[in-house]
Amino acid sequence: MSLTSYLVELPILGKLTWDAMRDPIYDYIDYNKDVEAKIIDTPVFQRLRRIKQLQLSYLVYPGAEHTRFQHSIGVMYLAGVFSSHITTQLVRKLGGYDIDGYKADILVESSRVAGLLHDLGHGPFSHAFEEIILSNKSLRAKGLDNHEKLGLLLIEYTEISKILQEAEEKGLDNIGDVVRKLLAAEEPREPILRLYRKIVKAWVYPADIMDFLMRDSYYTGTREYGSIDYQRLIRGSYPAEVGSVYEHIALDTKCLGALRSYLNNRTQMYENVYFHPVTRAFNRLLSEVLRGVDEYLGLTEAVERLGEGDPSAYIKLSDEYVYAKLLDLKDQKDLPSDLREKIKMFLYRKNPWKRIGADHKIPLIALGGRLDPAILAFRYMKRWVKDLEQHVRSKISAKLGNRINEEDIWVDSNTLHPAPLSSLVEPHVFYVAHMRGGEMVDVKPYSIISFMVNEGIIPRIIVRAYASRTAIRDKELFRELGRIVDEAIDEFFNISTLAGGITL
């Protein structure tokens, strides 16, 4: 499937100069030299070459050295193919290139550029930076608490803003405004832009997620988990007119098998790659390191300066930058000795944590309720994880006394949800339709929860406990600790049978 097959129907895009680059996922990626190549060649976008896509997964999967740069270009391409397909349907239905006040070309090119720029604001080590640095009180108070907001600031305060302005002068009217609305954390007011935002991100199978599942599985060598029939999902998707507006995407019922496979494989990628136990342990170590070196490296300061209109310090931040600084800091005597030791463990892959007990996968069973229990579990995760950790520690203390300290134990909990939780803010965000003679009939909402229940796809919480390696050198203590932890976790979730789980 190629974008160029649609260009004859999009006159403005057809006048742009197009080229292609090779890619291991799509073979060839189309791009235009008038807007997209200029953005790609900016220093702020080139910075993404120095930020790994999978943070620390390369410590487990040696091939996982790919970057946010590659992923962003892939999302641009896939958003272009997806938006071109949807736009073609709208042009045919509406009988012209004006779609709710927007030119068809603008909607497609804005989707492509939004896909290209959607990860622009990521800091070094991506989500770890967001969880540790951007979540601190001072940055939250200033509204600088996620990479989406920082990405919009980087667009505003770098040459990308000028590139978008020049594109408008060449006939791509309002592209800058549309791109910003598609990238914003909040949904656009315009229904048609909410439709195109779903194509790029924040939906069940947007370009962002489809690309990272295929790309991440390719580079980690876990192709069996990232096998997604993206062409069938896109070809089977249509703009659904609901309440006289086009805001939703409907999937042909013949393509529900491809959706089922996508949801299952997404779960497998999260369980086996993104939440790999060794990776999670190193993420814990990285979090402690970032928190400790924040002031020395000026991480929070760089974000604050970006918020004030100066992006220069933030643009320097990357994985490579932090690694280089850590190599200097590891021997710096004015650093606390425990921080220097953590830096060395991080740099030289010395995992300070060992998993104890089993992986606990607690099913989250929906019994016809309006809300998905996994959403509730996710929403209140910090609260119940704290209670769970306290419960586990109290059981250990009661049975082992002072043989192990509380600070030597931590519990890691994550939600294994087949669908992106951010796409499930409403009970019905998913539409299906029967196709007859190229036209949709019987368009209706279909609860993604009901679909998963019918298909036997059950969300789960995965819980693991870890202990400090220095505290469990005794093998008998390690085995006993594992038994205690397993019993405590089962007791907390009230699991008495294999069918146990959290229900609504």
- The pLDDT of residue 372 is 56
Asked if pLDDT for residue 227 goes beyond 70, the answer is yes
DSSP one-letter code for 67: B
C-alpha angle 369-372-375 in degrees, rounded to nearest 5: 145
- 24-28, 330-334, 439-443: which has the minimum mean pLDDT? 439-443
DSSP letter at 50?
A: G
Ordered by start, the domain boundaries in the chain are 3-279, 353-416+459-503
Q: Which residues pair with 461 in a beta bridge?
A: 362, 415
> φ, ψ for residue 239 (rounded to 5)?
-70, 125
Tens digit of each residue's pLDDT (9 = 90 or more) over 408-455 = 999 999 988 888 765 554 544 689 999 887 788 888 998 887 888 888
Q: What is the mean pLDDT of residues 399-416?
A: 90
Give the count of alpha carbons within 13 A of 146, CB side only: 7
- Please indicate whether residue 78 or residue 243 has the higher confidence score (pLDDT): 78
Which superfamily is assigned to 3-279 in CATH? Hypothetical protein af1432 (1.10.3210.10)
Q: How far is 251 from 246, CA to CA, in rounded Å?
A: 14
Compute the Cα dihedral for 243, 245, 249, 251 and give only its sign.
positive
Token pair 């939250």 in the structure block, residue: 140
Residue with the two structure tokens 């667009």: 155
The rounded percent of the chain whose pLDDT value lies above 90 is: 76
- The candidate with the shortest Cα–Cα distance to 218, out of 69, 67, 77, 64, is 64
Closest C-alpha to 443, from 238, 287, 262: 238
For residue 31, what are the β-bridge partners? 19
Which tens digit of pLDDT belongs to each residue from 358-369? 999 988 765 444
d(CA 124, CA 446): 39
Torsion of CA 259, 261, 267, 272, to 10 degrees: -150
pTM score of the predicted model: 0.93
Residue 370 has pLDDT above 70, yes or no: no
